[in-house]
Structure 1
Amino acid sequence: MKHHAVYIAGKMTGLPDKGRGLFTKAEEVMSAFGWRILNPAMLPDGLAAEKYMPICMAMIDACDVLMLLPGWTNSPGAKLEAQYATYQGIPVHEVESLVPFRASPMIRRSTEAETEDE
């Protein structure tokens, strides 16, 4: 059985703790499917902003699918990641399309809080 590698894309810049809470919760939900998660929110702090994108593109190259978190349309970086994945032929989906993701009260509360900050 193939375990898909999934890259999580979403808004980070300008959010408290770079939105890591939502990224972590999404990783937990998707890991339950047996997927291998590539989570850019786990990258260390301290690099210049422009240094992160090449790292993220390499992570996208290693994935089988890219999942977009709520609020991704408000992130130039997440939009670029989605566009790059599409160009590379990697399927792109909104994480809200996963029924277990939408059904999780923990995720619902977190996405509502993240959306209020936008």
Structure 2
Amino acid sequence: MKAKCYLSGPVSNQPTGKVRAQFMAAQILVKDAFQAVNPTENVKPDEDWGKAMIKCLNDLLDCQAILMLPGWQESPGARIERDFAERIGMRILTIEDVNPRLHDCECDETLVVVKGYEACVMCGRVREAELKKEVA
């Protein structure tokens, strides 16, 4: 059985599509090494922040590692999750730790697209999706 890895990144006050794209890309990135625990699947978008954090920390307790997604430093919730993980001696990972080919990423062929946002499954970067023109 694979070790569980909790995905931690900015969620609050972010567009739903952006959050879903980033977390889906992270799930794909870690799937060979870990069973991903995606907090966006267990917390409702309109859930009270404090209650959501309690759920997230409970989910985190069941994991062996935490993956810090790009932008985590600006997220109060992700900073709490990282601090908690560090205090209990959990393995803390970054995108660089789980993808040795990160320097090869060009963010053009490895994208997850959700509600107007695309996230790279190699480096975790998220951007607004480019509108594709239909070819007549």
| TM-score with structure 2 setting the length | 0.72
Equivalent pairs counted in the alignment come to: 112
Mapped partners of 1:88, 1:109: distance in 2? 27
C-alpha change, 1:112 and 1:21, in structure 2 (3 Å) is closer
The answer as to 2:22 corresponding to 1:22 is yes
In structure 1, the residue matched to 2:45 is 45
Q: Note the aligned Cα RMSD (angstroms).
A: 2.2
**Unmatched 5+ stretches in structure 2:** 112-119, 129-136
Partner residue, 1:113? 127
How much does 1:65 deviate? 0.4
- Inter-partner Cα distance in structure 1 for 2:124 and 2:92: 22
Tell me how far apart the structure 2 counterparts of residues 39 and 96 of structure 1 sit (CA, whole Å): 19
- How far, CA to CA, are the matches of 1:26 and 1:101 in structure 2? 15
Higher Rg of the two aligned structures: 2
Partner of 2:10: 11
Where is the strand percentage greater, Structure 1 or Structure 2?
2
- For residues 59-94 of structure 1, give each alpha carbon's deviation from its aligned partner in whole angstroms, at most 9, with x where no partner exists: 111000000000100101100000000111111111
8 Å Cα contact 1:27/1:39 also seen in 2: yes
Q: Is the 8 A contact 1:26 1:101 kept in 2?
A: no
Q: Percent identity?
A: 24
SS at match of 2:67: strand
- Distance between the aligned counterparts of 1:20 and 1:60, measured in 2? 19
**How far does residue 42 in structure 1 lie from its aligned partner after superposition?**
1.0
Greater percentage in helix: 1
Q: Which amino acid aligns with 1:55?
A: K
Q: Which amino acid aligns with 1:13?
A: S
Change (3 A) 1:27 1:101: farther
* TM-score (normalizing by structure 1): 0.82
Partner SS, residue 127 of structure 2 = helix
Aligned pairs (5 A) from 1:1-118: 2-17=1-16, 19-33=19-33, 35-43=34-42, 44-99=44-99, 102=102, 103=104, 105=107, 106=111, 107=120, 111-113=125-127
Distance 2:68 2:27 in 1: 12
